[in-house]
Amino acid sequence: MNTFGNLFRVTIFGESHGPAVGCVVDGVPAGTKIDEAEIAAELERRAPGRSGTATPRRETDIPEILSGVRGGIATGAPIACLIRNENAHSGDYAEIPLRPGHADWTALVKYGGHADPRGGGRFSGRLTAGLVFAGAIAKKLLAGKGVSIYARLKSVAGAEDAIDLASGGASARKEALRQISLKPFPAADDCEELFKARILAAKDAGDSVGGIVEAVCFGVPAGTGEPFFGSVESRAAAMLFSVPAVKGVEFGRGFEIAKLRGSEANDPIMPAGGKRSFATTTNNNGGLLGGIANGMPIVCRAAVKPTASIAMAQDSVDPIMGEAARIELKGRHDPCIAPRAVPVVEAGLAIVLADLLLEGGYL
Give tens-digit pLDDT for 88-127.
Answer: 665 555 567 888 988 888 988 999 988 888 878 888 899 9
> What is the b/e burial string over 250-265, where b = at least 16 CB atoms within 10 angstroms of the residue's CB?
bbbbbeebeeeeeeeb
* Bridge-based pairing state of the strands 9-14 and 3-4: antiparallel
pLDDT-based confidence at residue 32 (cuts at 50, 70, 90): very high
Residue 90 is predicted with a pLDDT of 57
Three-class SS of residue 308?
A: coil
Domains of the chain: 3-359 (3.60.150.10)
Residue-wise pLDDT for 135-147, tens only, equals: 999 999 999 999 9
The torsion angles phi and psi of 228, rounded to 5 degrees, stand at 55, -115
pLDDT-based confidence at residue 320 (cuts at 50, 70, 90): confident
Q: Taking the mean position of all CA atoms in its chain, how far away is CA 310?
A: 22
Residues whose CB falls within 8 Å of the CB of residue 226, separated by 6 or more in sequence, listed in order: 291, 292
Residue 88 is predicted with a pLDDT of 63
Asked if residue 229 lies in contact with residue 290, where contact means CB atoms within 8 angstroms, the answer is no
Residue-wise pLDDT for 146-164, tens only, equals: 999 999 999 999 999 988 8
Geometric angle at alpha carbon 18, from 320 and 72, rounded to 5° = 155
What CA–CA distance (Å, rounded) separates 173 from 163?
A: 10
Geometric angle at alpha carbon 320, from 316 and 326, rounded to 5° = 25
